[in-house]
Amino acid sequence: MRVNNQLLIRHLGLQNYEKMYRAMVRFTTERNESTIDEIIYLEHSPVYTLGLAGKTEHILEPDATPVIKTDRGGQVTYHGPGQLIIYLLIDLKRRGLNIKNLVYQLEESVIAMLAECSINASRKAGAPGVYVGDRKIAALGIRVRRGCCYHGLALNVDMDTTPFNRINPCGYPGLEVTQLREQGIELNIEQAAERLLPHLVKNLNYDQENIIIDAELSEFPIDHIAA
């Protein structure tokens, strides 16, 4: 089996955003052509994040929640417990993907997962993410460096959505958000990940036989970065 056809899936639980962000940057900087791709799912402690073009004026009511500037695409969003975060550390060249293909497949995976839950979701032209009606249920933000990507997607599962009222989510004034619980779907983070990951694996063209789940293959750089 060729190492570069493998995919390692990790569950890292509740993590500090800034620590995880720096770990992803380090992983991507240090990886090479034989590095195994990884998908990591987790939750974050409460945090607002600003993308490369992020404008602080989209934070309408600043509070004690940390605001972290990042190098992903997009404007401002909120992360907190009860939201499924999936980070994709993937060699796009190796998978034959470009950023447009990747975004499409991420959205397609979420839409398919929601369809299994009897939720009719869709895209919006010019506004990456997944929507139920006019309300956003999943946000995307990606960075590509040397043909490899990091960051990923956030799916609202069962969380306190009040902090979204203090920002213009993704830079759109008045944009409302929703979550699985409000759509009548009672899942925890692990159950939501179990529903979504098979679609991601399929749509990103990995073979199931090459998937490694939470293996102690190597330490992720987060283990070596102080909070």
Per-residue pLDDT, averaged over 103-116, amounts to: 98
Task: Count the Cβ atoms, other than its own, within 10 Å of residue 86.
Answer: 23
The pLDDT tens digits for 61-88 are: 888 999 999 999 889 999 999 999 999 9
Tokens of 129: 């993410």
* Domain-located, residue 126: yes
Which residues touch 21 (CB under 8 Å, ≥6 apart)? Answer: 68, 70
* Domain-located, residue 70: yes
Separation CA 107–CA 193 (nearest Å): 15
The pLDDT tens digits for 39-62 are: 999 999 999 999 988 888 899 888
pLDDT for the residue 74? 86
The pLDDT tens digits for 145-202 are: 999 999 999 999 999 999 999 999 888 888 999 999 999 999 999 999 999 999 999 9
Q: Residue 207: what are its φ and ψ, rounded to 5°?
A: -85, 135
Separation CA 170–CA 40 (nearest Å): 22
Using a pLDDT cut of 90, give the percent of the chain over it: 78
Q: Which residues are the active-site residues?
A: 170
Task: Count the Cβ atoms, other than its own, within 10 Å of residue 135.
Answer: 16
Q: Taking 90 as the threshold, does the pLDDT of residue 14 lie above it?
A: yes
Structural domain boundaries, residue 164: 3-222
Q: Which residue has the higher pLDDT, 74 or 26?
A: 26
How many structural domains does the chain have? 1
- Which residue type does 26 have? R
Q: What is the 3-state secondary structure (H, E, C) of the chain?
A: CCHHHCEEEEEEEEECHHHHHHHHHHHHHHCCCCCCEEEEEEEECCEEEECCCCCHHHECCCCCCCEEECCCCCCEEEECCCEEEEEEEEEHHHHCCCHHHHHHHHHHHHHHHHHHCCCCCECCCCCCCEEECCEEEEEEEEEEECCEEEEEEEEECCCCCHHHHHECHHHCCCCCECCCHHHCCCCCHHHHHHHHHHHHHHHCCCCHHHEEECCCCCCCHHHHCCC
* Domain-located, residue 88: yes
pLDDT for the residue 135? 96
pLDDT for the residue 218? 54
Q: Taking 70 as the threshold, does the pLDDT of residue 91 lie above it?
A: yes
Q: Supply the mean pLDDT for the chain.
A: 91
* Domain-located, residue 125: yes
* Domain-located, residue 227: no
* Domain-located, residue 103: yes
Give the CATH number of the domain where residue 19 resides: 3.30.930.10
